Structure 1
Amino acid sequence: MAAPATKRIIVCGGNGFLGSRICKFAVARGWDVTSISRSGEPKWETVTASSTPPPWAHRVSWERADILRPATYVSLLKGADSVVHSMGILLEADYKGVLRGQESPIASLQRAFSSGPRPGNPLERHVAEGQAQDIRPPETRQQLTYENMNRDSAIMLAKEAAASGAQSFVYISAAAGAPVLPARYITTKREAESAIASEFPRMRGIFMRPPFLYDASRPLTMPLAAMTGAGALFNRVTGGVLGGFMGAAGAKPLKVDVVAEAVVEALSDDKVRGPVEIPEIEDLANRAWRKGML
């Protein structure tokens, strides 16, 4: 009997904190894994405890492309069974402008919380025939916004994935917003989920909604996870009386490996689709762990 074909998975943002671990667990299953990011291979000291590439990294194809310019990555999607969008931002800022002294961090934060007009669904914008649609609007120059990173890049990636024949698409969303974040952080993620589900129904859409992620390899996340865990305990003891206000700050944090394993397990189970909340994320990760023990 012929051996089953190897699953091919594309991870956009595969060099990041979560994306790199999705690549790791996909490689462990023998899948053909390609990471797409602007910088290619990760700076390992920023995503693991070592600056040396781990052994599994040599089995990943680290490709460079701009998620905000679909023409740069479309050819890499050909033949993919599954595509993962593991990119996003917590706060908006014109990072280059701040670093160059052209804009203050305060101005960036004020813009993030502003209620000015925002671009709509990228699928509804007019693009001349034969031209590729860039997502980065010219009026923001190099600024990353919730609209172009958390929403539009995911919608356009899903569009190109569906056109390339991908069977499943994972969007790393979020459990909720938080008091310290503009409401647009979570609304743009929910808009991306809705657009992907409605526009590409033939492709199995999986919307992972993780809480705050932590790992000892990124020390800053440990005290933040402890504070978030305390918030989750308070929320549980009080019956969720402040759950709506606290958002993700009142949800149990998860180790980043748990979510990465859950993503890979979800891709291997055709019954998983739609929003995947924290309890189901944990269940999927446990299933993946049990499989690894067999």
Structure 2
Amino acid sequence: MAASNSGRYLSTDSNKVDETFKVQEAETVNIPPPPTEKLLVLGGNGFVGSHVCREALDRGLSVASLSRSGRSSIHDSWANNVIWHQGNLLSPGSWEDALTGVTAVISCVGGFGSTSYMYKINGTANINAIRAASDKGVKRFVYISAADFGVANYVLQGYYDGKRAAEAELLIKYPYGGVILRPGFIYGTRSVGSMKLPLGAIGSPLEMVLQHARSLTQLPLVGPLFTPPVNVTAVAKVAVRAASDPVFPPGIIDVYGIQRYNQQKFK
């Protein structure tokens, strides 16, 4: 049996053209692309928030930020890859559109001032965010809180009362997808206008010393003051991992837990 140029097979016996072989085309299957992880950083233009945005971008996440001032004043190239939203968490109904399509939220919102102001910023604002995210079906919520500093809690009562109220709300609304980070003093290069303050010059040596003196934190009254500082890049790395890793355990992570997770490889 011989084949002609047309691709049909010719019979050598009867010289009749056999039926052309029909080649079926492979079926085209429209496979949807993998879901995009979209992260909303609350307070993304601040010291910690800007590091969180940058870490998330490095991890390949789509990143948006919400803050009262909107776009960051940072001129680094990564800032051009963030979707900047302006809104006030204390004004419900004015910012919830920023949650559209979001799969995880990291809140870096906090501040100092009068007792009532600190409670609103650290507590009420974050509680509003937690409730709105839960109502929108956001899967994971990471809240960057603060370590317990004992005596300092009484001096900054509104600050810590607000933090703990937000933590309690998060544990209720996100029992399986909520993570609370409790760092102590966070150090790193902080931008103030055109100036850069190298806080690592103080924080890094203290972290090296105090991370090996954990027993000191058990001293009455003053013990919490020996909580080691932690680098802002470590906080950002663990926060992004907690927001994007579905098997990251929910709950409260203290400064030692932050150090431990920071040392682990995150794929």
Shorter-chain TM-score tier: 0.7 to 0.9
Which of 209, 215, 221 is residue 199 of structure 2 equivalent to?
A: 221
Change (3 A) 1:279 1:240: closer
Structure 1, unpaired ranges of 5+: 45-52, 94-111, 113-143
Which of these two proteins has the greater Rg computed from alpha carbons?
Answer: 2
Percent identity of paired positions between Structure 1 and Structure 2 = 27
What letter is aligned with 1:236? A
Deviations 1:74-95 (A, max 9, x none): 1111221011211111x314xx
Counterpart of 1:205 in structure 2: which amino acid?
G
Deviation at 1:178, TM superposition (A): 5.5
Aligned counterpart in structure 1 of residue 255 of structure 2, from 278, 284, 293? 278
- Structure 1 distance, partners of 2:169, 2:246, is 21
Q: Is 1:212 the equivalent of 2:190?
A: no
TM-score by length of 1: 0.70
Question: What letter is aligned with 2:180?
Answer: F
Aligned counterpart in structure 2 of residue 163 of structure 1, from 135, 139, 163: 135
* Structure number having the greater helix percentage: 1
User: What secondary structure, in the 3-state scheme, does the structure 2 residue paired with 1:165 have?
Assistant: coil
User: Secondary structure in 2 aligned to 1:174?
Assistant: coil
Q: In 2, Cα distance between the equivalents of 1:240 and 1:15?
A: 32
Instruction: Show CA shifts across 1:246-271 (max 9, x none).
Output: 42x31111110110011011112223
2:144 pairs with one of 153, 156, 172: 172
Note the aligned Cα RMSD (angstroms). 2.6
Unaligned runs of 5+ in 2: 1-30, 191-195
CA distance in 2, matches of 1:213, 1:65: 26
What SS does the corresponding residue of 1:10 show, helix, strand or coil?
strand
1:39 and 2:60 matched? no
Deviations 1:102-121 (A, max 9, x none): xxxxxxxxxx4xxxxxxxxx
8 Å contact from structure 2 (residues 130, 169) kept in 1: no
The DSSP-based 3-state class of the residue aligned with 1:194 is helix
What TM-score do you get using the length of structure 2 for normalisation?
0.76
Query: Displacement of 1:223 after TM fit?
Result: 5.7
Moved over 4 A (4+): 226-231
- 1:203 CA displacement: 6.2
Correspondence for 1:60? 82
